[in-house]
Structure 1
Amino acid sequence: MSGTGSPIVIYIKSFVYLLFISLLIISCNGDGKKSSQEAESKKVVNVPNFNADSAYHFVSKQVEFGPRVPGSEAHEATKQYLIGTFEKYGAQVKPQEFTSTTFDNQQVSLTNIMASFNPKASKRILLAAHWDARPFADKDSVRKYEPIDAANDGASGVGVLLEVARVLHNSSLPEVGIDILLFDGEDWGETQGADVPTPQGLDSWWCLGSQYWSKNKGNYSAYYGILLDMVGGKNAKFYIEGMSKYYASSIVDKVWNKGIELGFSNYFIKQPGGQTTDDHVFVNEYAKIPMIDIIAFDPKDGGFGNFHHTHQDNMSIISKETLSAVGKTLLHVIYYE
């Protein structure tokens, strides 16, 4: 035998060496991929500041017009204010006017308002709220047939989104396009105890604006949507709404995780809440856009708060801290998208 060694031994040594090199390459690639994922999750984005004082002002301004009941002077004045404000902040504004019949046989003129930022972006996020006010205080013990201020149930969500519009105008835009959609006719549903059958083509007497928009949106689409409803009350608790979890669980996780990460775990409660018929249901069903609902609802007592659909729903229950928690979470979600 020569000093070069056995061919079998050389083969085994070569095999072991190649195996070692292969494992090293796989290991390096794996670490690289992991490092890339970690870098992505830890990326730092310059998220502009959400001003709670400004959001509070936007809520107050709506209430000052008076109850925004469709057909009223306050409703028309508020519509012009909303359109003008969005235009001032550089949005592309598209009002959608239509007529509808309410459960008590009133023919009303309604307007959904869409304000778009970064309209050329193909990936879009839809943010929504309703801007009308309840025509009656049917859960109250006094003045039951008079309209309410609807400071929280309507104006709070709009106030947050007007502040988002102001921020977008004054800051570098996020990488995605943002559409703010304000639904009309959400709150003219049946009074307590009424049971009026809906006509063909209408699923509910509630959410007239979102039903119409979802069936008449043209070719519009969005990656996902976030609906705000009653997001300004003091000590609000946002449990996970049932239909949101059913239609868009990943978006629920995205929003609640971000809120908790920002220190708002006393607001964003990552536990199941009740299930409600709100504008997001029809956006999911008919527009086929996965949309969640951030809505104050306490499953412990099964209610929306003792102010709900009463004259107590006024500026006295609006909290800048709650508006801030929702607004900051919303901005972080869209800027990290």
Structure 2
Amino acid sequence: MKNLLPRLGLLATATVLLTGCPADKKPAETATPPAAAELPKVPVFNADTAYAYTARQVAFGPRVPNSKAHIACGNYLVATLKRFGLTVREQPFQAMTFDGTQISARNIIAQYQPQAARRIALFAHWDTRPFADADKAHKNAPMDGASDGASAVATALEIVRELSLQPEKMAPNVGVDVMLMDAEDWGHDETFQAGVKNQLEGSGSDSWCLGSQYWAKHVVPTGYKAQYGVLLDMVGAKGGRFTREGVSLDKARSVVDKIWNTAAKIGYSDYFLFTDTSGIVDDHVYTNQAGVPTVDIYDHPPYGNDFFPAYHHTTADNMGIIDRKTMKAVGQTLLQVLYQE
């Protein structure tokens, strides 16, 4: 998913950026917020459809840039978003990975209600890591990325599918943009690849999040502005739990509060924990730099010192771990948030 070791000067925030190492101090618990006024009625997030979208992506095979599966899955995502009636743009780009591989990649941007002045962005990455380097038995094997990537894309797809079905009088008061970032996961992990030279070191470019780095420098649509963004990453696994990540708190605290408080109000506080944890390097680092205050929703183990679940960057990240209930908690919460704007 992302580089697990800290980088000097990467992010000038009060939050510590982590790699595979946990924070020195234990997460701080905060009080559950009080109940608020009655919430607006919203569409029902269909977890079965979101599960099917996840399975469809996985069925292409590992979505590694330069592969046939990657091209086919990208075409499928573009066609699906167009079928929902969204305005779709593709942003192709070339990049070099940390191991010197030249890749062809593309970000996919789709807009619901493109005429709306106020906009909310849903970010996710749609590629998969080319090797399961955290897998003790199969560290060079390809991985399905069922939760790490596919579940996030599927959740965004189901949200905009539901929105596209609503009559005009039932539409939210904001436009919604699905921003699918490519080449997020081909980064140098100092924990598992200590013996491999990072050829991007010192270049001014992080080895992770290549698509969001490119988008931040070449924003599409031109002049794009959003009220805020939500990055979805690893939101489909059984037992998934989401803490309040450090960069999100530093750059978009009000959005974190909005999402976590809403989740608690509609019965999903078992998933959205009122626990603060240190920051990580993910696409939201660069979308924040581009001027979109963005929070990161990703699966964080609720107990112990691990910052990522056991399936992270292993062959265990397959459809066997995907749980409709987890996707429902995330998707329904975000639909509720959108209709509160």
**TM-score, normalised by the number of residues in structure 1:** 0.85
Within the alignment, does 1:291 sit opposite 2:291 as a pair? no
Within the alignment, does 1:149 sit opposite 2:144 as a pair? yes
Per the alignment, in what secondary structure is the counterpart of residue 257 of structure 1?
helix
Residue 112 of structure 1, CA deviation: 0.4
Could you tell me which of 116, 119, 122 is aligned with 1:124? Answer: 119
Aligned to 1:3: none
Matches within 5 A, 1:164-313: 164-171=159-166, 172-191=170-189, 192-194=192-194, 196=198, 198=200, 202-217=204-219, 218-285=222-289, 287-298=290-301, 300-313=304-317
Distance 1:202 1:329 in 2: 37
Residue 199 of structure 1, CA deviation: 5.6
Contact 1:118 1:177 in 2 (8 A): yes
Per the alignment, in what secondary structure is the counterpart of residue 312 of structure 1?
coil
Residue 59 of structure 1, CA deviation: 0.3
Distance 2:142 2:72 in 1: 16
Alignment size in residue pairs: 296
Can you list the C-alpha shifts for 1:21-64, whole angstroms capped at 9, x where unaligned? xxxxxxxxxxxxxxxxxxxx736523011000000000000000
Per the alignment, in what secondary structure is the counterpart of residue 105 of structure 2?
strand
Distance 1:50 1:187 in 2: 28
Residue 274 of structure 1, CA deviation: 2.9
Distance 1:90 1:105 in 2: 39
Residue 201 of structure 1, CA deviation: 5.9
Aligned to 1:74: 69
Indicate how the Cα distance of structure 1 residues 106 and 252 shifts in structure 2: closer, same or farther if over 3 A, else same: same
Which segment drifts farther, 143-152 or 90-99?
143-152
| Greater RCO, CA 8 A, separation 6+ | 2
Bigger proportion of residues as helix: 1
Aligned to 2:323: 319
Distance 1:123 1:225 in 2: 12
Contact 1:86 1:93 in 2 (8 A): yes
Could you tell me which of 81, 105, 108 is aligned with 1:110? Answer: 105
Which segment drifts farther, 143-152 or 103-112?
143-152
Q: Can you give the 5+ residue segments of structure 1 that lack an aligned partner in the other structure? A: 1-40
Distance 1:112 1:199 in 2: 24
Within the alignment, does 1:93 sit opposite 2:96 as a pair? no
Aligned to 2:45: 50
Root mean square deviation of aligned Cα: 1.4
Per the alignment, in what secondary structure is the counterpart of residue 85 of structure 2?
coil
Per the alignment, in what secondary structure is the counterpart of residue 279 of structure 2?
coil
Contact 2:99 2:199 in 1 (8 A): no
Distance 1:199 1:229 in 2: 25
Contact 2:64 2:128 in 1 (8 A): yes
Per the alignment, in what secondary structure is the counterpart of residue 236 of structure 1?
coil
Residue 243 of structure 1, CA deviation: 0.4
Residue 198 of structure 1, CA deviation: 2.6
Matches within 5 A, 1:16-35: none
Distance 1:89 1:201 in 2: 40
Identity %: 46
Distance 1:229 1:262 in 2: 22
Q: Can you give the 5+ residue segments of structure 2 that lack an aligned partner in the other structure? A: 1-35
Residue 197 of structure 1, CA deviation: 5.3
Indicate how the Cα distance of structure 1 residues 200 and 122 shifts in structure 2: closer, same or farther if over 3 A, else same: farther
Within the alignment, does 1:64 sit opposite 2:62 as a pair? no
Aligned to 1:163: 158
Contact 2:100 2:199 in 1 (8 A): no
Aligned to 2:16: none
Distance 1:132 1:173 in 2: 31
Aligned to 1:28: none
Contact 2:148 2:234 in 1 (8 A): yes
Residue 258 of structure 1, CA deviation: 0.3
Distance 2:271 2:231 in 1: 16
Contact 2:97 2:200 in 1 (8 A): no
Aligned to 1:33: none
